Homo-oligomer: A and B are copies of this chain.
Amino acid sequence: MASAATINDVARVAGVSIKTVSRVVNHEPNVRKLTRERVQEAIVSLNYKPSLAARGLAGKRSFLIGLVYDNPSDSFLVNLQRGILQACREQHYGLALCPSSEAADQISDLLEWTRSTQPDGIILTPPLSDNHDLVDKLTTAGVKFVSVSSAGTGRGPAVYIDEMDAARAMTSHLIAAGHTSIGFIKGPEDHACSALRYSGYCRAFEDAGLDLDGSFVEHGEFDFASGEVAARKLLAYEEPPTAIFASNDDMASGVMHEAYRRGLSIPADLAVAGFDDTPMSRQFWPGLSTVRQPIVQIGHRATELLMSQISNGGPVENDPLVSPENATENDVLPFELILRASTTAET
């Protein structure tokens, strides 16, 4: 194939200097309308595309952002990627993936990756975004980032939902349905959302003036197997709970499995609720009540925040003039309670 056209070719065809072409390509001012049009014609006719590599070398930007993750659920990762890629396409950016290596030193690995790939910024997902040590090191290393995290720890920009409120809403729904004995399955400690979801569960009990029976709380690892194990414990009580709220859908599916194994019927004998609204939750029988996070939007918004950080040369400052009370309010996106048959009589 003919080697691709360069900026020089465009300049020659348009009869201008490469600098002018550069101006047009980068939408800089100080170019006459006529000249701009001539250049644009040349660009089209030559099918010219700027080389990312050259731009990265010459300029300071690589036009690449990184997505860093550590073993998230499939649908979370895919939907996040969807939102990010959508925003990237709008801004003519590329996305490079950086799955955090399993055993090794995650922090230095990530730092090395940023040094060789040189993304203009990165998006951090839980539980990495909840790792203060990591976040601090990124900051001192001058790496721009945005967290997708439930922990508004004030350590840089973040996009998230109100996990506490979401868990409270789901628990309240169960209480409103008549349940007073509700089991809860917590997530792993290194996820900030685990504690938040748990506190939402507790809050709902307080709201309703109910006593919290601590023995109905089990610990899980956000996966199917740990949900099964936790359910086994919860259902072994003499007077087991009549509802179980697992703090994510995978664990909830484990609960359902265990319930069916014991011949229980859902929701008649046991109501089950999850969190995340994975595609699975709709496909189960009965459909699983759950909390939907707008993950695609979260990815999109996080990317936008990252972009503005990149162009401004620093973290987005809260602008007290614009929104005196809570300048980062936009970063908290709304969740949605999805009620299906696993907690309600009707289909």
Contacts A74-B75, A141-B1 given; indicate if A118 touches B283 (C-beta within 8 A). no
In the complex, are the beta carbons of B283 and A250 less than 8 A apart? yes
Q: How far is the CB of A228 from chain B (nearest CB, A)?
A: 10
Q: Is A188 an interface residue (CB 8 A)?
A: no
Residue of B nearest to A82 (CB): B99
Interchain CB contact under 8 A, B74 and A99: no
Tell me the chain A residues, 76-122 only, with Cβ under 8 Å from chain B.
Answer: 77-79, 81-82, 85, 89, 94-97, 99, 101, 112, 115-118
Interface size on A, residues (CB 8 A): 53
The A interface is mostly helix, strand or loop, or mixed, namely helix
Chain B residues with CB under 8 A of A51: 56-57, 116, 118
A115 touches B49 (CB 8 A): yes
A53-B50 contact in complex given A260-B285, A283-B250, A285-B257, C-beta closer than 8 Å: no
Mask for A214-230, Cβ within 8 A of B = 1, else 0? 00000000001000000
Chain B residues near A283 (CB-CB < 8 A): 224, 250, 253-254, 257, 280, 284
Question: Is residue A44 contacting chain B, with contact meaning CB distance below 8 A?
Answer: no
A345 touches B (CB below 8 Å):
no
Q: Which of B50, B115, B279, B285 lies in contact with A116, CB distance below 8 A?
A: B50
Task: Determine if A256 is an interface residue (Cβ-Cβ < 8 Å).
Answer: yes
Task: Count copies of this chain in the complex.
Answer: 2
Q: Does A140 belong to the interface (CB within 8 Å)?
A: yes
Is A31 on the interface with B (CB-CB < 8 A)?
Answer: no
Q: Does A282 contact B (CB under 8 A)?
A: yes
C-beta contact mask, A328-347 vs B, less than 8 Å → 1, else 0?
00000000000000000001
Interface flags for A30-49 (1: CB within 8 Å of B; 0: not) read 00000000000000000101
| Chain B residue contacts of A96, Cβ below 8 A | 64, 94-96
Q: Does A268 contact B (CB under 8 A)?
A: no
Given the known inter-chain contacts A97-B85, A254-B283, A283-B250, please indicate yes or no for A118 contacting B52, CB distance below 8 A. yes
Q: How far is the CB of A44 from chain B (nearest CB, A)?
A: 12
Given contacts A97-B85, A97-B97, contact A1 B57 (CB under 8 A): no
Minimal Cβ-Cβ distance residue in B for A227: B283
Contacts of A279 in B (CB 8 A): 74, 224, 250, 280
- What 15 additional pairs, Cβ within 8 angstroms, besides A53-B57, A284-B285? A4-B115, A49-B115, A51-B116, A52-B53, A52-B56, A52-B117, A52-B118, A53-B55, A53-B56, A53-B118, A74-B74, A96-B96, A97-B97, A253-B283, A280-B280
Residue positions of A touching B, CB distance < 8 A: 1, 4, 47, 49-57, 62, 64, 74-75, 77-79, 81-82, 85, 89, 94-97, 99, 101, 112, 115-118, 140-142, 224, 250, 253-254, 256-257, 260-261, 279-280, 282-286, 347
Question: What are 30 of the A-B contact pairs (CB < 8 Å)?
Answer: A49-B112, A50-B116, A51-B118, A52-B53, A52-B118, A53-B53, A53-B54, A53-B56, A53-B62, A54-B57, A74-B75, A74-B77, A74-B79, A77-B78, A78-B78, A81-B97, A85-B97, A85-B99, A89-B101, A95-B96, A224-B279, A254-B283, A257-B285, A260-B285, A261-B347, A279-B280, A280-B280, A280-B283, A283-B284, A285-B285
